[in-house]
Chains A and B, each alone.
Chain A
């Protein structure tokens, strides 16, 4: 997981809640491919048409607030989002994303330094984001050892499966 992640940014504001990321009307779906069809539907109807594998989301504070729906993390991961960079995250979304192996970085001030379509280089281990568009270097809060361990295992499921085999 030491590699630099490179991708193109979609930029959103503060308090992007899970109803905007994944509307409640589709919560009966579970297949990630079907779930991905409604990603960001209430905040950006063009997102599903434009998103490409390896793209990134940049947002203001409290990204993922609201309901506990894991669909919000599933829809972004299944859409190909490689990392979410926000000024802060709501706690359940944070857990859900890390559990799925979708990296998140808390990046104070980032929403003012990136615009839609900018190319970003993200170094998860170092906690650093470089905006290739304007050269800005954005320092992120380092991930805890516990979270890094989950991400390095590709999410919590492979970890638990491994532990479960020894039970």
Chain B
């Protein structure tokens, strides 16, 4: 069996499971975010009275943090009341940041866990050797009532990464190249595992970015076998025992792809599809109205660090707005202590409180028709960040910072060697 199958087998109370089988699993951690009041509606519609195990539930007020309409405010009010009534102590209110980064900061995800959140980017937790997957509101409500949910045991695709990344190239560029090569629907219903020597050089932040973006190829979950990097990250955060599982030798992957990243250039996904990927050189000089650094994909300390390095002692281009949204309170505090916030504010960045903000086009940095944005987030669908006639280019945090500086799409390498 593959490690992800062993996680499902354990959660299903079984010795083994087979690929394609439907199994009913006990969920170790269930997260709800504030976009989906429907979760509470479905809970009531299905006759839910008490949450099965409130200790395993986390409520995130992150997508509308802080509320900018009366409806959003009322939804958040209902979520807070639900947490109080049901004894859900893990209420992450509007000061905390984006769900996936909070889970990482607080050490709430450990290897071997089955983590389900009403957010498509729950694949992020493969970086910790957990089985993370996104569901909709009603599925989450079923977990609230029963503690369980059905899953189809997925096939696993192996992405083997080797070589060394050149200066200016990051995990974001690598995963964009992978998605551009394989396609936005290549991973649908399947799990994606990353292996190979490149991983030894990637910290948790970059591993989270790899796993996070597998959602953009349709993956059900992502997985990186926990190693010393994982254990070092978790050591100070997690008190509980982890149950690390490993893939049996001889396991047959549904597909295997190897990438040598040594020759990779900084990448960009051009409008309006995440698999519309090319070297950033193709778009050099394209004027940028907004540069967006943040989200569960690209708003971590390392991401703010590279932006601060590029912008230290320099000024954001006068025709460009540079929005910076630390992914969490923890990220914000650490970046502040390291001086990155001071550097970026002095350079002309506009800060937004830790949250999902403009990534999904709800508030805090919406685009007008005809505007161009370069973003460290994950998606460039038509209208994703505002008007359907805005153009969104998905790139690495370094490329976003370089564009903020020059006011146009630029290769960040020149600032990093």
Give the B-binding residues of A (Cβ under 8 A).
14-15, 17, 19-20, 23-25, 27-30, 42-43, 61-62, 65-71, 73-74, 88-92, 95-96, 99-100, 144, 146, 156-157, 160-161, 163-165
Contacts and interface: CB of A to CB of B under 8 A. Distances in A.
Contacts of A96: 136-139
A73 B45 CA distance: 17
B188 A88 contact: yes
B146 A28 contact: no
A106 B47 CA distance: 32
Closest 8 pairs between A and B when the two form their complex, measured CB to CB: A62-B185, A70-B136, A96-B136, A24-B360, A24-B361, A28-B71, A164-B47, A160-B46
B138 A100 contact: yes
Given A19-B361, A88-B188, A96-B139, 8 more contacts: A15-B185, A19-B382, A28-B71, A29-B71, A68-B119, A70-B36, A92-B120, A160-B145
B142 interface: yes
A89 B142 CA distance: 22
Interface in B133-167: 134-139, 142, 145-146, 150
Interface residues of B, number: 46
B362 A24 contact: yes
A99 B139 CA distance: 8
Nearest to B186: A62
B294 to A, nearest CB: 15
B138 A91 contact: no
Contact of B379 (A30, A61, A66, A146): A66
B120 A70 contact: no
A27 B63 contact: yes
Contacts of B129: none
A17 B273 CA distance: 10
Nearest to B358: A24
A28 B72 contact: yes
A29 B383 CA distance: 18
Secondary structure at the B interface, as helix, strand, loop or mixed, is loop
Interface of B: 22, 35-38, 41-42, 45-48, 63-64, 69, 71-72, 75, 118-120, 134-139, 142, 145-146, 150, 184-185, 188-189, 218, 220, 273, 360-362, 379, 381-384, 388
Nearest to A164: B47
Contacts of A30: 37-38, 41, 75
Contacts, number: 125
A19 B218 contact: no
Nearest to B385: A24
A95 B48 contact: no
Nearest to B76: A28
B136 A62 contact: no
A48 B75 CA distance: 26
A80 B375 CA distance: 36
A126 B111 CA distance: 43
Contacts of B361: 19, 23-25
Given A66-B120, A69-B136, A90 B188 contact: yes
Contacts of B382: 19-20, 42-43
A90 B185 contact: yes
A20 B136 contact: no
A153 to B, nearest CB: 12
B22 A67 contact: no
A68 B136 contact: yes
B303 to A, nearest CB: 22
Contacts of B22: 144, 146
Contacts of A99: 136, 138-139
A4 B381 CA distance: 35
A42 B383 contact: yes
Contact of B218 (A28, A42, A62, A68): A62
B47 A165 contact: yes
A161 B45 contact: yes
B383 A157 contact: no
B184 A65 contact: yes
Contact of B384 (A19, A27, A29, A43): A19
Given A20-B381, A146-B150, A68 B138 contact: no
